[in-house]
Chains A and B, each alone.
Chain A
Amino acid sequence: MANIEITDLSMSYQKDKKILDDLSLNIKDGELLSILGPSGCGKTTMLRLISGLIPIQKGTIRVSGKDISKVPVYKRNFGMVFQSYALFPHMTIFQNITFGLKRRKLDKKTIEKKALDILDITGLSNLKDRMPSELSGGQQQRVSLARALAINPSVLLLDEPLSNLDAKLRIEMREEIHRLQQKLKMTTIFVTHDQEECFAISDRVALMNKGQIEQLDTPQNIYKNPKTEFVARFIGYDNFISKEWAESKQWQFHKEITGKLLTIRPENIEIGSGENNLLGKVISKNFLGNYYQYIVETEIGTLKVNTTEDQSSTNAEITLNFPKQSLIELEDK
């Protein structure tokens, strides 16, 4: 249906303060791409630029080869789901869904059939005569999705659609979005700050920081091979070790990238001796449900170590092992 090419997109609200900084990104036809990042990284601005809700200052956006930078928002034919659902409060669910269709020159029967189809695949048929205020949050977000899909958009844009829902509904809704996206093979951009929901459904993830993409990769690769310190920290690599120091201790690790830092996830550090050892003292121990977390003071700083079994206690002197295959090299940025 549509691929998107974003080239050198820049945006600033004030001089010298760039929200987006020469950002380029290609989204494949039918792909679900997530834009992940902390608040203020520019992800929402990027989505709003693509949607046309804010005008482009610099750079181009092409959809299926056609430059849409100058096309006004109401002619872009993109579907959008808002964080606040944004249903039309004065219309029934059915009217909410047909509102966009009525703008297109279709006869009444076609509109009704299209609306009933979309109500059917989103499981909303029995709610069609209700008002938005009579629906729960989850139902409202479902209507919002149905409304976006009803106009048969070339691109679907999702702006943190799950963040107002409770934990259980969030998972349900995210599966629903994934199912519909797969079924309709719709090019989708999903903006979120939650790595779990983004990893679960995305084909690729663009991790953003300060208006630029830090890493663009599959969820697995981002999780297993973070490229920069920012990415590593964002996805839960809590321990950072100077490469220079590691080399001085003759530690074993892959030496493939030039950079100053190594990183390791708390659950990959082992208690006991092995190939790369370090002495430390447990300064606190916390039971966190499915694992124990030890805060260990060492000569290179305080480290976090997670184990599934209870292996030590506070104030104990322990040896830590850093397995070679779990030590990730990071690029300098």
Chain B
Amino acid sequence: MRTRIKFSSVVGFLVLVILVVPLLIVIVTSFGQESAISFPIKGFTFDWYKNVFQQPDFVEGLKMSSIVAILASFLALLVGTPIVYVLTRFDIHHKDWFQTIFLSPALIPEIVIGFALYQALVISLQLPLFISLIVGHFLLCLPYVVRLITAGMMEFDESIEEAAWMVGYDKLTAFFKVVIPNIKQSVVAAFILSFITSFNNIPISLFLNGPDLNMLPTSILNYLENNYDPTVSAVSVILMIITALMMIIVEKYLGLNKLT
């Protein structure tokens, strides 16, 4: 027992070090005065943060990434929630097949999804890039929505919904007045996790971007090809902060332990 606790705390510590130390270095380098990323830093400046907001690619990318993440997450909730409701409440044939289909985007390599969508939507169907991008990110978000809302529905006692029908509410009204308020936590968590996933995605955005369609993560990659200055560190820190804030909200609503 003792040795096992010791072992797991050592492993835990190592993971923490491997994960946190590089992040700390990135944070530190974003304040360095030298024009190339170096560690330890010489001097201290906020200039690189200012520079982030002077790069049109980054500003546009931040805006576009946010818009896409919000739209894709909303769409995934709008489609995913009714699907989950049907899958958990009704006795349908081949239920597990459907479950697998809706979770499958998480199993297919994202780069494959990106490429396939580019081929199908952009080349063959000639759909606008923005629509294709939303579709791609929607597929990315759907498994998170399906999994989290399913967990929420499983915990929700079916009789409570039936009680609402019994006192006079039709099924649709009961769904909004009784089911949704009680799975609210899962809905919020699903939205935020979807948002983070979409916001940080590169593989799908890489295939579906264009002249006026820059996503923040791909902009960072592009910037890195030509420059190796602490602006990249600064924008990474900004990305980290946004993600962390989102996670804090999830933690407050639901507790992170419920996500795994």
Contacts and interface: CB of A to CB of B under 8 A. Distances in A.
B154 to A, nearest CB: 15
B163 A88 contact: yes
Contact of A53 (B160, B165, B169): B165
Given A88-B178, A89-B182, A90-B181, A151 B160 contact: no
Interface string A207-220: 00000000000000
Nearest to A101: B167
Contacts of A99: 164, 167
B162 interface: yes
A79 B178 CA distance: 18
A37 to B, nearest CB: 21
Tell me the interface secondary structure of chain B in the complex.
helix
Contacts of A144: 163
Contacts of A51: 166
B169 A74 contact: yes
Given A86-B157, A86-B159, A90-B182, A73 B166 contact: yes
Interface in B143-177: 157, 159-160, 162-171, 174
B159 A77 contact: no
Contacts of A53: 162, 165-166
Contacts of B165: 52-53, 73-74
A7 interface: no
B160 A89 contact: yes
Given A88-B178, A89-B182, A151 B168 contact: yes
A291 to B, nearest CB: 40
Contacts of A87: 160, 163
Interface string A130-149: 00000000000000100110
A88 B168 contact: no
Q: Of residues B160, B164, B166, which shows the largest number of chain A Cβ atoms within 10 Å of its Cβ? A: B166
A74 B170 CA distance: 6
A284 B104 CA distance: 63
B170 A72 contact: yes
Give chain B's interface residue range (CB within 8 Å of chain A).
Answer: 10 to 19
A104 B168 contact: yes
Contacts of A52: 165
Nearest to A103: B168
A313 B166 CA distance: 58
A101 B193 CA distance: 39
A75 B212 CA distance: 55
Given A89-B182, A90-B181, A90-B182, A84 B167 contact: no
B9 to A, nearest CB: 36
Contacts of B159: 82-84, 86
Nearest to A13: B91
Contacts of A259: none
A100 B167 contact: yes
Contact of A103 (B160, B169, B182): B169
Nearest to B166: A80
A147 B182 contact: no
A184 B57 CA distance: 73
30 contacts: A51-B166, A52-B165, A53-B165, A53-B166, A72-B170, A73-B166, A74-B168, A74-B171, A79-B166, A80-B162, A80-B163, A82-B162, A86-B157, A86-B162, A86-B163, A88-B160, A88-B163, A88-B178, A89-B182, A90-B182, A99-B164, A99-B167, A100-B167, A100-B168, A103-B167, A103-B168, A103-B169, A104-B168, A148-B166, A150-B167
In order of increasing CB-CB distance, the 8 nearest A-B pairs are A100-B167, A86-B159, A103-B168, A82-B159, A86-B163, A80-B166, A90-B181, A73-B165
Interface of B: 157, 159-160, 162-171, 174, 178, 181-182
Given A53-B165, A148-B166, 10 more contacts: A74-B166, A74-B168, A74-B174, A82-B163, A87-B163, A88-B163, A89-B160, A100-B168, A104-B168, A147-B167
